[in-house]
Amino acid sequence: MKQLLLDKIAKKEITVGVIGLGYVGLPLAVEKAKAGFKTIGFDEQPAKVEMVNQGHNYIGDVVDKDLKRLVEEGLLSATSDFGFIQNVDFIAICVPTPLDVHQEPDLSCVRDSTAEIAKHLKKNTMVVLESTTYPGTTEELVCPILEQGSGLVCGKDFYLGFSPERVDPGNLIYKTKNTPKVVGAIGKDATEVIASMYRAVLEGDVKEVSSPAIAEMEKILENTYRNINIGLINELAMLCNEMGISIWEVIDAASTKPYGFQPFYQLKIGRISPASMVRTSRPIMAREMIFTHLGFICRPPH
């Protein structure tokens, strides 16, 4: 299976399937298609499927004319019928993984889409989970569903791995194409082949790690680091406001340290920046806003 897939990657004979055409899935599907791989996206929302098939873009990080051209050239299409899985060699799962009302990870979209994939999975396919999740998901949740639903054996009949998505919507420098990727799969061969598939598409480095759990945990580290630092800067912004000090100049000055410090400028998801909090004249209100927005940030694993 390893050599067969490596040869198909080299000859661009892999057909790619992307499950979930949102902020993560659509840019990924476009990059795979731009690299010359026939790509089919799946979404349960018929409106998104229709828009893609008509060449209409709805994600900010995707260039309208790229999507239109790829659809016209037949390299990119979308469907809402899971039957397409039997025609693909590489599957990326990019469905939502929010927290539920008890603040527990809600993996129902991952579970449901994996069960649908399993029904149609054929031999010699690579399956990669890209959705943010807790360590253990790929091996303990996704793998058994795929094996039981398909009757195939992971590592022998298909490869399975995890590669965390790092898309940063609105980032003008780092896009799907040039952001380094981490790949951890079940078995060395699987890791090598899945990493080759990403290397055939992306400009960014592809770092291979020894297991899906390492890749899952490193994504948690990235997100935790980001959330803690956003919280820290927001707290400092309020303090600076009370003291009549510019938080921007403070961050600017701290950024001159060449090691051990990384600047964090604004709270992106909550659509509120330290600057707008600084303008708030009532610190208590600002504090409530921060907690609300940080709570929001911490809830969906981003």
Return d(Cα 20, Cα 32) in angstroms, integer.
15
Among 22, 36, 55, 187, binds ligand NAD (CB under 6 A): 22
* By the rule CB under 6 A, 137 interacts with ligand NAD: no
Return d(Cα 159, Cα 199) in angstroms, integer.
17
* By the rule CB under 6 A, 85 interacts with ligand NAD: no
* By the rule CB under 6 A, 112 interacts with ligand NAD: yes
Label the pairing between strands 90-93 and 76-79: unpaired
Among 17, 20, 161, 274, binds ligand NAD (CB under 6 A): 20
* By the rule CB under 6 A, 67 interacts with ligand NAD: no
* By the rule CB under 6 A, 198 interacts with ligand NAD: no
Among 16, 18, 21, 290, binds ligand NAD (CB under 6 A): 21
* String of contacts with ligand NAD for each residue 148-187, x by CB under 6 A: -----------------xxx-x------------------
Q: Which is nearer to ligand NAD, 44 or 189 (CB)?
A: 44
* By the rule CB under 6 A, 92 interacts with ligand NAD: no
* By the rule CB under 6 A, 131 interacts with ligand NAD: yes
Hey, which residues does 125 pair with through a beta bridge?
158
Among 48, 120, 181, 293, binds ligand NAD (CB under 6 A): 48
Q: Which is nearer to ligand NAD, 5 or 167 (CB)?
A: 167
Stretch that binds ligand NAD, among 105-113, 150-158, 192-200, 274-282 (CB under 6 A): 105-113
Whole-number minimum distance, CB 85 to ligand NAD, in Å? 11
SS3 annotation, the chain: CHHHHHHHHHCCCCCEEEECCCCCHHHHHHHHHHCCCCEEEECCCHHHHHHHHCCCCCCCCCCHHHHHHHHHCCCEEEECCHHHHHHCCEEEECCCCCECCCCCECCHHHHHHHHHHHHHCCCCEEEEECCCCCCCHHHHHHHHHHHHHHCCCECCCEEEEECCCCCCCCCCCCCCCCCCEEEEECCHHHHHHHHHHHHCCCCCCEEEECCHHHHHHHHHHHHHHHHHHHHHHHHHHHHHHHHCCCHHHHHHHHCCCCCCCCCCCCECCCCECHHHHHCCCCHHHHHHHHHHHHHHHHCCCC
Q: Which is nearer to ligand NAD, 125 or 133 (CB)?
A: 133
Among 95, 107, 209, 230, binds ligand NAD (CB under 6 A): 95
Whole-number minimum distance, CB 247 to ligand NAD, in Å? 24
* By the rule CB under 6 A, 242 interacts with ligand NAD: no
Among 42, 90, 159, 198, binds ligand NAD (CB under 6 A): 42
Hey, which residues does 40 pair with through a beta bridge?
17, 77
Residue ranges in contact with ligand NAD by CB under 6 A = 19-25, 42-45, 48, 94-97, 109, 112-113, 131-132, 165-167, 169, 300-302
